[in-house]
Amino acid sequence: MKNLLSSCQLDNISGDKKLNFVKKIYWILICLINYFLSFVIKKDSRIKIEKFNGNNQKFVNKNESPARVLSDIFWASFQWKKNKKILKRNYEILEVGCGDGKYGKLLKKIIGRNFKSYLGIDIKKRERWDNSGKNLKFIKSDCYNIKKYLIKKNLIITQSALEHFKYDLKFFNILKNNLSKTEKIIQIHLIPSYSCLFTYFWHGYRHYNLNSISKITKIFDKNCQFKLFSLGSAELNFFHFFNITIKKNNNPKLRNKKKNYFKKMRKLILKSFKRKNNIPSFYALVIFHNFKKEL
C-alpha cells in the first residue's frame, strides 16, 4: 500500500532526521535503486521535456546555492502575463511547504498587477510569517490537509518541498480529487533531480527522475498537459559540492565573503543554458489543467 502513496520505492527513511552511519548507507542505496529503476519502468509519454534558458535574473540572491538561484530565475522568467490571459483572471496562489514565506513575497513582486492573493502552508509555524497584509497569508497545516484551502486557487506551487513529503502521491491524489474539473489551473513544482544525490546527500525522502515524475503525472487525466524543464547541469552540482557540501557552508551570508562565488556560479549557469544535453541540477514540473490548446 505504501508504494501507492509514494513515487519512489522503499523511501521510508528521511534524511531530514539525524541518521546513523548504517541508515545513511541505506538511504543512499535507496536513492540508487530508484535511479536505476528509472531505466526499466515506462515513462509517461505525455511529459514534454524542455531545456530551460532563463532570461530574468533581476530577483536573484547572489549568495544562494546554484539550485536556488536557478529556481529564482525560473520563477522570474515564467510567462506570467501570457498564462494569465489564458486563465482569464489574476493569480490566486497556494504554496504548500512554504517555509519562511519567501516565495509569497517574491511572486508578488514578479507577477505585479496580475497578482491577487497568496496563501502559504507549512507544517511548522515560522517567525517571519506576517499575516498583517491583505493578500499574503500563512497557515500552519500539513500537505495532506489542504482540501479547504484549494477553493478559488488557480496556481498551486511547491519549491524544494515535495522531497520532504513522505507520501507525495497521496498529496497529488488530493489535488486530483479536489481541483476543479473545468476551470483552468496551473501547478508548478520545483524539485531536486537524481543528480543531487551527491550534492545534498541525506536530504528529504527522495530525489526525482523520469520514473518518479511519471508516477505523479499518471495520476492526472487527459485534460492535463505536462512540461518538465531541466534546470542547470552536472557542473553546477560539482560547484555546489566543492563550495557548499564539503565545506558545510550552509550560510548564504558567509558565501558572500568567498571570492568570486557568484561570478563563477553565474558563468556555469549561462554555460548550462547553451548546452543541448545536460544532466539537470533541478527540475521544474508544470501541470496545466483544462487548457484546451496545446501549449
Tens digit of each residue's pLDDT (9 = 90 or more) over 37-96: 777 777 899 999 988 888 777 888 888 899 999 999 999 999 999 999 999 999 999 999
Residue type, 19: L
Residue 204 CB: number of other CB atoms within 10 A?
A: 21
Model confidence pTM above 0.75: yes
Nearest to 201 by CA among 9, 21, 12: 21
* Contact between residue 290 and residue 223 where contact means Cβ atoms under 8 Å apart: yes
Strand partners, 288: 186, 225
Place of cell 502575463: 81
- Mean pLDDT, residues 112-128 taken together: 95
Mean pLDDT of the chain: 89
Question: Which three cell numbers mark 285?
Answer: 514540473
pLDDT at 103: 96
In the chain, where the domains are located: 2-289
Give the pLDDT of residue 2.
45
Element housing 122 (H / E): strand 115-122
More reliable by pLDDT, 164 or 293: 164
pLDDT of res. 40: 77
CA-CA distance, 245 to 238, in Å (whole number)?
A: 9
Fold of 2-289: Rossmann fold (3.40.50)
Please check the confidence at residue 3 and state whether its pLDDT lies above 60: no
Q: What is the pLDDT of residue 251?
A: 59
249 band by pLDDT with thresholds 50, 70 and 90: low
pLDDT-wise least confident of 13-22, 107-116, 134-143: 13-22
Q: Give pLDDT, residue 92.
A: 97
